[in-house]
Amino acid sequence: MLETHYAACYWLTRPEPVEACARRLESFLEMMAPLERTWSRWHQSAATFEKARKRQVQPDATTLAKLLGQKSNRIVDSSRFWLWAGESPDETSGINGSCGGSSTFVNSHCILNSLGQSEVAERVVTAPVMTGVVRAMALAWEPEFALATSSQHVDSIVTEQFPKPGTYGGWVMYFADFRGPVPPLPAPVQVEHLPNRGTLITLTPEKFTVSNPAHVALAADVQARLQDAGLLRPLRPWGT
């Protein structure tokens, strides 16, 4: 079975101006750059790879504010973005997200898109890098919940067609402080508190895969403990 991994963070009902979202995106891109060599250059999409390569985006807040403020990237009071990185059509990765929305029904988010079987995936689908991605998400976006995990594992544990962010666990997880305290977790789980943010949890030091029964069992054990502690629940309006 071909297994793919992704990372994502989510929050709800936190209105912010375009400029504030641009500063968050700038901070996120800055923290992503050391994690993977291709993540130092980001581009907008286009009809072909060659055209898209010419649409490099300078990762400073002023430039990003102009991008987020474009009419095509505004939905009501929310700013959207789609960016990609890579040296060839077969070796790309991408991020997308939305920021600033006040809706109680549509969450804001930032997603590192599904990583397949490319050389980029081989380099980044590791515990240090994926934990680094989720840490960057936590520090830059201040989400309520974030995770990095296997898409196939999510499919195996979630029965809803459209699962609610925050209601299921994964390989790497993050919970904002206001969501509640994290209970004691079994070895080899690593727990790191980020001051003034929340708690980062990494289940395994090796690549998490749904084909490993020990990984699946550990994930089920941790999920049950987090569930009992009240941490796995749908998003709430920010800070409530």
Of the two residues 92 and 192, the one the predictor is more confident about is: 192
Per-residue pLDDT tens digits for 212-239: 999 999 999 999 999 999 999 999 999 7
Give which of 150, 142, 123, 127 is closest to 7, Cα–Cα.
150
Task: Kindly indicate the confidence band of residue 1, based on its pLDDT and cuts at 50, 70 and 90.
Answer: low
Residue 206 within a domain:
yes
Pairing of strands 145-150, 108-115: unpaired
191 strand-pairing partners: 201
Spatial distance between the Cα atoms of 121 and 143, rounded to a whole number of angstroms: 24
Averaged pLDDT, 164-178:
96
Domain carrying residue 67: 5-228
**Is residue 76 situated within a structural domain?**
yes
In a domain, 233, yes or no: no
Domain assignment present for residue 238? The answer is no
Angle at 130 between CA 109 and CA 83, to 5 degrees: 45
pLDDT higher than 90, residue 160: no
> Number of structural domains, the chain?
1
Span 65-69, average pLDDT: 97
How far lies 125's CA from each of 116, 119, 129, 138, 149, in Å? 10, 10, 7, 18, 9
List the end-to-end C-alpha distance of the chain, in Å, as a whole number.
41
pLDDT at 48 > cutoff 90: no
- What distance in Å separates the CA atoms of residue 105 and residue 40, rounded to the nearest whole number? 34
The residues, any chain, with a CB within 8 Å of residue 102's CB and separated by 6 or more, are 13, 14, 15, 77
Is 30 among the domain residues?
yes
Q: Kindly state the percentage of the chain with pLDDT values over 90.
A: 85
- Please check whether residue 240 lies inside any domain of the structure: no
DSSP 164: P
CB-CB contact of 176 with 143 (8 Å) = yes
pLDDT at 39 over 90: yes
* Residue 11, phi-psi category: left (phi > 0), alpha (psi -120 to 50), beta (remainder): beta
